[in-house]
C-alpha cells in the first residue's frame, strides 16, 4: 500500500499545475455602432470554458466605453475558450454586437477583436499559476 502514496501525490501535483488563474481586465470598446434607438449602451458578458464569469455594467450612450470590472477564474486551464459577448442594452431586446472567442495561453496578453456589427473590443488577460 505504501508504494501507492507517491503516485497519488504525483497525480495531485499535476492537477495543481494544470489549473491556472485567469484574470481578465481593461475591457474597452471603440466605435460601437449606433442603432435606430440611439447610441449604444454597451456591456460585455464573459465566460471561460463552461464557467460563466459574469458581465460588466452597462455603459449608457457611449460608443467608446471603458469598463472597470475585472474577472477572475481560479480554475482556468490553458486552451480553455475565453468568450466575450458584447451587447447593446435596449428596453425590449438586447442586441448582440459581436462575439470574441479565443483559446487562452499562459502569460500576459492584449487583444483587439472586431465585432460583427461594427466597433472593436479590446481586452487584456493574464493566465498563470500566481497565488495571491
Residue ranges in contact with Ca ion by CB under 5 A: 41, 88, 90
The Cα 55–Cα 106 span in angstroms is 23
Name which of 60 and 72 has its Cβ closer to Ca ion: 60
Q: State the minimum distance, in angstroms, from the CB of residue 36 to Ca ion.
A: 10
The Cα 79–Cα 71 span in angstroms is 17
Name which of 70 and 95 has its Cβ closer to Ca ion: 95
Name which of 57 and 129 has its Cβ closer to Ca ion: 57
Q: State the minimum distance, in angstroms, from the CB of residue 39 to Ca ion.
A: 7
Take residue 120 and report the three cell numbers written for it: 472593436
Which residue is nearest to Ca ion, using beta carbons? 41
Q: State the minimum distance, in angstroms, from the CB of residue 58 to Ca ion.
A: 9
The Cα 43–Cα 67 span in angstroms is 8
Q: State the minimum distance, in angstroms, from the CB of residue 100 to Ca ion.
A: 20
The Cα 33–Cα 53 span in angstroms is 25
Q: Which residues contact 16 (CB under 8 A, 6 or more apart)?
A: none
Name which of 41 and 80 has its Cβ closer to Ca ion: 41
Q: Quote the strand ranges of 56-119, DSSP E.
A: 66-67, 71-77, 81-88, 95-103, 107-114
Amino acid at each position: 500500500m505504501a508504494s501507492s502514496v507517491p503516485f497519488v501525490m504525483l497525480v495531485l501535483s499535476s492537477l495543481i499545475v494544470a489549473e491556472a488563474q485567469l484574470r481578465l481586465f481593461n475591457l474597452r470598446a471603440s466605435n460601437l455602432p449606433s442603432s435606430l434607438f440611439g447610441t449604444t449602451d454597451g456591456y460585455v458578458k464573459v465566460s471561460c470554458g463552461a464557467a460563466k464569469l459574469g458581465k460588466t455594467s452597462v455603459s449608457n450612450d457611449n460608443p467608446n466605453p471603458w469598463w472597470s470590472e475585472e474577472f477572475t477564474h481560479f480554475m482556468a486551464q490553458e486552451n480553455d475558450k475565453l468568450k466575450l459577448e458584447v451587447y447593446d442594452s435596449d428596453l425590449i431586446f438586447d442586441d448582440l454586437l459581436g462575439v470574441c472567442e479565443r483559446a487562452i495561453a499562459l502569460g500576459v496578453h492584449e487583444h483587439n477583436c472586431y465585432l460583427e456589427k461594427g466597433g472593436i473590443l479590446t481586452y487584456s488577460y493574464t493566465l498563470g499559476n500566481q497565488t495571491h
